[in-house]
Each structure stands twice: as C-alpha cells, then as structure tokens.
Amino acid sequence: MTTSNQQAALLLERAMLDPRFAAVCERARETAPVGFRDQADAAISEATDLLQQAGQLISDEASRLVTPGELPGWLRLGIIQAFVSWISGGGETCRHNLHPGHPQPIFAALWRPDLTVCGFCLHLFSLAPDSEAAHTCDACGRVCARTADDGITPGMLQIGPLTVQYGACDDCLPATLGRPC
Ligand SMILES: [Zn+2]
Ligand SMILES: [Zn+2]
C-alpha cells in the first residue's frame, strides 16, 4: 500500500470513529447524482444479501450491524485499507473492470491485501486447506497449531458494497464478534 493510501486509511479511520460520521455519509449520499446513488444503493443491498446468505452457511449466528468502534484495530484498519485501495484505483483487481464509478458488490481478503475482485472471482482468494497460509492469523501473523482449541476462525465484514474476509486466532478475535458454530 502506498504512503498516501496509508495516510488516507488512517484519516478515514479517524472519521469513522467520530459520532458524526453516519450523518456525514448520509449527507454525501443525498448529494450524489441520482443514477449513481441508485446504483450504489443496489450494490450495497446485493452485498448485504450475499453476506447474509453466506453467513447462514458458515454460522448459526445471524449477521448484525457493528459500529467501527466495536472492531479491534487490526480488523477496522484492514477493512479501511481494502476500501481505500479499491477507491484509489491503486490496487490489483480481477479482470472484470471493477471501478468505483460503477458500484457493484466487490470482495477483498485480509490475506491478499490490495486485491479486489467481483463475485465471479472469489476463487482468487482460495487457500489450500492444508497450507500454512490457511492457518495463519490475519491479525498477529501466528500460524495456529491446527488443533480444536488453536485454529483460525473465518469471518466476513461488509462496508458499503465491499465485503472483506478475514481469519483470526482466538487470541485476536473478540468474543463480541461471535464465532461460527
Ligand atoms: Zn471478476
Ligand atoms: Zn492472532
């Protein structure tokens, strides 16, 4: 990630933690051109549906809204960095011409920072189940022992049309985020 994108991510994180952030976002949404706003709303709605459907496959817990302040710093900043990387156009994308000016559901993963893909290209995030990467915590970088009490818990978070996948060890994953059963 470039230094300017890193700075943008830190600024966005600071803004997101401000209680006025939601109101500013809504104001920006209202001032956007109607066509773009409709497309963005549709993309966000579709991304939410996909997240809920995927969540039902991997967890007995329903998806829920979280505030930026509820997230651990590594997860909040990782998601923001993925978002900034996509918005800036500086990151790698799949071959389907993803562009912030044409909102659609898009996906990122903390183990492949700077890569954003469409729903057709989720396989680009695949990890071999027995590989070291599949058992590495995205927060602390520790390779888990692959035992029942020391494994990686997968999760997904959505911000706008962007859904970010992550995997974390028990030490790094707050109980408040819940764990798949
Ligand atoms: Zn694609
Ligand atoms: Zn960890």
User: What is the structure's pLDDT at 121?
Assistant: 96
On whether residue 147 sits in a domain, the answer given is yes
Q: Is the dihedral of CA 61, 131, 112, 69 positive or negative?
A: positive
Distance 108 CA to ligand 2 centre (A): 19
Average the pLDDT over 158-165 and give the result.
91
* Residue 80 structure tokens: 């923001």
On whether residue 168 sits in a domain, the answer given is yes
pLDDT digits (tens, 9 = 90+) for 102-155: 889 999 999 998 899 999 999 999 999 889 999 999 999 999 998 888 889 888
Give me the number of domains the chain comprises. Answer: 1
On whether residue 181 sits in a domain, the answer given is no
**What pTM was computed for the model?**
0.83
On whether residue 84 sits in a domain, the answer given is yes
On whether residue 163 sits in a domain, the answer given is yes
Domain of residue 137: give its range.
3-176
User: What is the structure's pLDDT at 99?
Assistant: 84
Distance 149 CA to ligand 2 centre (A): 13
Q: State how beta strands 106-109 and 162-168 pair.
A: parallel
pLDDT digits (tens, 9 = 90+) for 15-35: 888 888 888 888 888 888 888
pLDDT > 70: percent of the chain: 93
Ligand nearest, relative to CA of residue 119? 1
Question: Do residues 61 and 54 touch, judged by C-beta distance below 8 A?
Answer: no
Which residue from 123, 42, 138 is spatially nearest to 82, judged by alpha carbons? Answer: 138
Q: Where are the beta strands (DSSP E) in 42-172?
A: 92-93, 106-109, 115-116, 153-159, 162-168
